[in-house]
Amino acid sequence: MNDMSYPGWADGYLPTKLSFAAAPNESAQLWLERLVGQYGQCPPEEADALVCLGGDGFMLEMLHTTLGHSLPVYGVNCGTVGFLMNPAVPDDLPARLATAQAAILHPLRMKATTIEGRCIHALALNDVFLFRQTRQAAKIRIGVDGRVRMPELICDGVLISTPAGSTAYNLSAHGPIVPLSANLLPLTPISAFRPRRWRGALLPSTAQVRFYILETDKRPVAAVADFTEVRDVISVEISEARELQTTVLFDPGQSLSERIITEQFTA
């Protein structure tokens, strides 16, 4: 979805009821003390916005807690990369929030089945990836919407990402960056050996993807959905959970859509 003004507040509304969450690093904790002293600490269920102090990893954790809720999240970079964060703490935080642009994100839903027959469900706002557990390359069959599209991919792994996550692991694996409004999911191999020249695919956001692990005894594979890791999987099903969403706020001129476009022109 394109970036827009946050629709949860009426024109002219000043969001003053703020809930703060901070990563355990020193910088984030110092800002937490200062901002809570200045604005107070509102319970999340009563707050206008959640202000997240930290880096992208901590921000991702906080976004998972807001899935399915109407609480928007504004990130302040007190970490390293900060792709999902705003660059600095503004002097007048409520005024900055009132003019922020909103990006609505939908997660991927993963269902991983293990050799023992256990089924583990998890959500991912960045990506779901499969990766070999040993020195042996993985052998993976790929199905899309009930049809086998790749009978055998020999590789280190394979991943499917959200548009917001396409600038993360997907980009490092040489996958395409996808605009938020594209309604596409990049499917990207990780160090493909056969077919060597296959670079992946762009799938519609409605696609139902299933990975089948071949030769599981010899070539064990783990599946990861953001923070959830499942080892010794035999199959992994992935689809977009369109009914779930979270809202991220960005300073004017620094929207997530703009950042994704800019990233494509960065050396």
- pLDDT score of 1: 46
Q: What is the mean pLDDT of residues 51-57?
A: 93
Instruction: Classify each residue of 47-64 as buried b or exposed e, where b means 16 or more C-beta atoms within 10 Å of its C-beta.
Output: bbbbbbbbbbebbbebbb
Percent of the chain residues past pLDDT 90, beyond the cut: 76
Binding-site residue positions for NAD(+): 56-57, 126-127, 156, 164, 167-172
- pLDDT score of 229: 98
Binding-site residue positions: 56-57, 126-127, 156, 164, 167-172
Torsions phi, psi for 141 (to 5 deg): -100, 135
- pLDDT score of 108: 98
- pLDDT score of 179: 86
Which is it for strands 108-114 and 233-240: parallel, antiparallel or unpaired? antiparallel
82-122 pLDDT per residue, tens? 788 888 766 789 999 999 999 999 999 999 999 999 999 99
Identify the helix (H) or strand (E) that includes residue 32.
Answer: helix 26-39
Round to whole Å and give the CA distance between 172 and 194: 19
- pLDDT score of 79: 76
**Mean pLDDT of the chain, nearest integer:** 92
Task: Kindly give, in sequence order, each residue whose CB lies less than 8 Å from that of residue 127, ignoring residues fewer than 6 positions away.
Answer: 108, 159, 160, 161, 162, 165, 168, 169, 170, 225, 226
Q: Pick the residue with more confidence: 24 or 257?
A: 24
- pLDDT score of 206: 96
Round to whole Å and give the CA distance between 53 and 62: 10
Round to whole Å and give the CA distance between 105 and 102: 10
Round to whole Å and give the CA distance between 132 and 155: 8
Q: What is the mean pLDDT of residues 197-207?
A: 95
- Active site amino acids: 56
Q: What is the mean pLDDT of residues 122-135?
A: 97
The structure's pTM equals 0.90
Of 105, 60, 63, nearest to 244 (Cα)?
105
- What tokens were used for 188? 């990207």
Q: Pick the residue with more confidence: 128 or 264?
A: 128
153-190 pLDDT per residue, tens? 999 999 999 999 998 999 999 999 998 888 999 999 99
**Rounded to the nearest 5 degrees, what angle is found at the Cα of 183, between the Cα atoms of 231 and 207?**
50
Q: Can you list the domains of the chain with their CATH numbers?
A: 4-106+245-263 (3.40.50.10330), 108-240 (2.60.200.30)
pLDDT band, residue 260 (cuts 50/70/90): confident
